[in-house]
């Protein structure tokens, strides 16, 4: 998902909790009776980009399957985009126009009575909706931190256009079932642009058709399930180069699409891509979309994890726009956007949360992928310096998990605090081989699936054999950081947890007359040791807690 700068991340999380909830939030974020009876199988987008007036027009042919009886079908298209008409067909039946009077609009949601679709309401019935629309999409003011279309010009004053709509919604530019719980099993984009430009999209380029009116249509196709917000075109003066990567599932096509004047810089900087793949296939398992290949695309914004077509805008430099977010120095050894946004191919694109309230699953694990990349190439001490270094960015303003069914994220702490939670659980597991198997197991067990935070939590607990429910509740569902209060009296150590939920039971590795494990609770306990050795006390820095000496 989009990477939030410190300021943007803090603002987004706090803002989400402060804003009053509306009916529009519920229509957008809930997965109720107008959505749960049908399953999207495919989006087939045909869209023309009119650069002269910043408008788009076209249609989306939606293939869906009936799961059970339903009364209303909800489609989403955000204003100021306008829905023109809907044609429907079932099986080989010729498409019929749904009367406008039968389409009820409520804000950005459109409702169609199921009886208008001549449904048999039998499970597995296939329905095709062809939704024609046009308009001037909402323009992003600060992509990718806000959502919308990006109309920009490159350094040579050539038009450069793309979209970043995670959270804001794919319905900002095309009609769809705008909810993460239902991904199309496949998708196609047929994008028409001026013939002086190139369009790059997700998956594979199947065809390029030169039209007679000074335009060209590019046909891109994805054969794997894909998030709505990940289906994105890039339009500009692109050139291409590529290579093959010998991965766990065989040869993987790596394709790079960059603005023509960035070609030489890209050939140097993008060497981090095979390095990234080697590390992440080790930790997470095979790249999840071999059939669609891997692409890195010059973008008119910082970056996004657009599946099989990752957006890159880091200025061809290491770090996060040239900075090390950890302050350790290790973050300048690699290109942040290549590593972070590509990490989302496993966590966000392969494993996707049903509700963005659980987005920590995307951002926490992907933020931790930076630590794992560092460990793979530079060792454990470097990784520890990186993960502990990013803690200074944690604000503990609101819980990481947001409110459900209203399209609201939790705190921006889902990045840094989420990754430190995972690192802390890794210490509790205390078996790196098992921890790696757990990461790979997540990506195989939930391969191309949508999940909840609870599903991920339960899987980790089951595989690790550890009792983790109170740990997850503490770090995900409160904003408190547990504090270990302790007293040292000669060779006695007395300790307890404070600032935590009832029953919090994180085992802890400490140094007190040598390294050892303790199991603190909220009640005072005393550890009595022999007098040999010094009585200096410290908590292993790999655990994300506070420690406070008390009288």
SS3 content of the chain, % helix, strand, coil (to 5): 30, 30, 40
Residue 467 in domain = no
Task: List the structure tokens of 125.
Answer: 């019935």
Helix axes 272-284, 360-378, angle to 10 degrees: 110
Residue 322 in domain = yes
End residue of a domain, out of 279, 313, 342: 342
> Which residue is it, tokens 């999380």?
13
**Total count of domains within the chain:** 2
Chain mean pLDDT for the chain: 94
Residue 470 in domain = no
Residue 297 in domain = yes
pTM of the predicted model over 0.85: yes
Do β-strands 310-312 and 294-298 pair in parallel, antiparallel, or remain unpaired? parallel
Report residue 13 CA to chain centroid gap: 15
Residue 445 half-sphere exposure toward CB, CA atoms < 13 A? 14
Mean pLDDT of the region 280-301: 98
Cβ(197)–Cβ(156) under 8 Å? Answer: no
Helix axes 416-429, 432-445, angle to 10 degrees: 120
pLDDT tens digits, one per residue of 402-430: 999 999 999 999 999 999 999 999 999 99
Q: Cis bond leading into 80, ω under 30°?
A: yes
Distance (Å, whole) CA 320 – CA 328? 13
Mean pLDDT of the region 478-496: 95
End residue of a domain, out of 326, 342, 358: 342
Mean pLDDT of the region 71-81: 96
Q: Percent of the chain, pLDDT > 90?
A: 88
End residue of a domain, out of 321, 342, 363: 342
Cβ(73)–Cβ(33) under 8 Å? Answer: no
- Nearest to residue 415, comparing CAs of 371, 373, 365? 365
Range of the domain at 540: 483-549
Mean pLDDT of the region 268-275: 98
Distance (Å, whole) CA 129 – CA 90? 9
Q: What is the DSSP string of 158-220?
A: -EEEEEE-TTT-GGGTS-B---TT---SEEEEEEEEETTSEEE-SSEEEEEEE-TTSEEEEEE
**Could you tell me the end-to-end alpha-carbon distance of the chain, in angstroms, rounded to an integer?**
46
Q: Percent of the chain, pLDDT > 70?
A: 95
Q: Is the pLDDT of residue 522 over 80?
A: yes
Q: Is the pLDDT of residue 11 over 60?
A: no
Look at residue 131 in the predicted model and tell me its pLDDT. Answer: 96
Residue 278 in domain = yes
CATH (domain of 30): 2.60.40.1730
pLDDT tens digits, one per residue of 187-211: 999 999 999 999 999 999 999 999 9
Q: What is the chain's Cα-based Rg? A: 25
Residue 205 in domain = yes
In this prediction, residue 121 has a pLDDT band, given cuts at 50, 70 and 90, of: low
Backbone phi and psi for residue 82, each to the nearest 5 degrees, phi listed first: -120, 130
Q: Cis bond leading into 47, ω under 30°?
A: no
- 42, 478, 506 from 472: Cα distances, Å: 36, 10, 10
Do β-strands 537-539 and 250-259 pair in parallel, antiparallel, or remain unpaired? unpaired
Task: List the structure tokens of 286.
Answer: 């095979």
CATH (domain of 504): 2.60.40
Task: List the structure tokens of 396.
Answer: 């503990």
The DSSP letter of residue 5 is P
Residue 465 in domain = no
In this prediction, residue 117 has a pLDDT band, given cuts at 50, 70 and 90, of: confident
> Which residue is it, tokens 């960035």?
262
Residue 472 in domain = no
- Nearest to residue 145, comparing CAs of 13, 51, 22, 233? 13
In this prediction, residue 52 has a pLDDT band, given cuts at 50, 70 and 90, of: very high
């Amino acid at each position: 998902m989009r990477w939030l700068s410190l300021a943007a991340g803090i603002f987004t999380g706090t803002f989400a909790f402060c804003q009053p909830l509306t009916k529009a939030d519920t229509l957008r974020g809930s997965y109720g009776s107008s959505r749960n009876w049908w399953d999207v199988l495919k989006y087939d987008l045909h869209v023309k980009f009119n650069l002269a007036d910043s408008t788009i027009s076209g249609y989306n042919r939606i293939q869906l399957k009936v799961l059970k009886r339903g009364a209303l079908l909800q489609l989403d298209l955000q204003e100021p985009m306008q829905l023109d008409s809907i044609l429907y067909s079932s099986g080989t039946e010729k498409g019929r126009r749904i009367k406008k009077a039968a389409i009820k609009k409520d804000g950005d949601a459109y409702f169609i009575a199921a009886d208008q679709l001549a449904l048999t309401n039998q499970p597995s019935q296939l329905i095709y909706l062809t939704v024609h629309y046009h308009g001037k999409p909402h323009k992003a003011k600060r992509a990718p931190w806000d959502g919308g279309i990006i109309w920009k010009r490159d350094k040579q004053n050539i038009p450069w256009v793309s979209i970043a709509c995670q959270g804001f919604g794919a319905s900002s530019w095309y009609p769809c079932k705008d909810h993460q719980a239902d991904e199309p099993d496949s998708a196609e984009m047929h994008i028409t642009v001026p013939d002086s430009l190139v369009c790059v999209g997700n998956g594979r380029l199947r065809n390029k058709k030169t039209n007679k009116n000074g335009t060209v249509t590019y046909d891109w196709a994805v054969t794997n399930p894909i998030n709505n917000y990940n289906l994105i075109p890039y339009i500009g003066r692109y050139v291409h180069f590529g290579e093959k990567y010998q991965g766990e599932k065989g040869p993987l096509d790596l394709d790079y699409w960059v603005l023509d004047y960035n070609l030489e810089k890209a050939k140097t900087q993008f060497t981090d891509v095979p390095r990234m793949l080697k590390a992440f296939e080790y930790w997470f398992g095979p790249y999840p979309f071999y059939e669609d290949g891997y692409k890195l695309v010059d973008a008119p914004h910082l970056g996004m994890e657009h599946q099989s077509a990752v957006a890159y805008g880091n200025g061809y430099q290491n770090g996060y726009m040239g900075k090390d977010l950890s302050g350790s120095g290790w973050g300048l050894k690699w290109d942040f956007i290549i590593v972070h946004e590509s990490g989302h191919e496993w966590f966000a694109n392969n494993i996707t949360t049903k509700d963005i309230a659980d987005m920590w699953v995307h951002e926490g694990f992907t933020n931790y992928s930076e630590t794992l990349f560092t460990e793979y190439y530079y060792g454990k001490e470097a990784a520890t310096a990186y993960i502990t270094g990013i803690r200074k960015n944690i604000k503990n303003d609101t819980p990481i998990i947001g409110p459900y069914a209203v399209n609201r994220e939790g705190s921006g702490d889902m990045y840094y605090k989420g990754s430190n939670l995972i690192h802390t659980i890794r210490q509790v597991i205390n078996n790196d081989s098992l921890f790696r198997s757990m990461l790979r197991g997540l990506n195989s067990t939930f391969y191309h699936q949508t999940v909840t935070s609870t599903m991920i939590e339960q899987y980790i607990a089951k595989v690790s054999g550890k009792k983790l429910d109170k740990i997850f509740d503490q770090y995900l569902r409160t904003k408190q950081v547990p504090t270990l209060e302790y007293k040292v009296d000669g060779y006695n150590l007395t300790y307890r947890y404070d600032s935590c939920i009832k029953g919090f039971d994180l085992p802890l590795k400490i140094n007190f007359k040598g390294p050892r494990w303790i199991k603190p609770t909220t009640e005072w306990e005393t550890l009595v040791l022999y007098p040999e050795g010094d009585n200096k006390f410290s908590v292993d820095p790999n655990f994300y807690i506070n420690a406070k000496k008390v009288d």
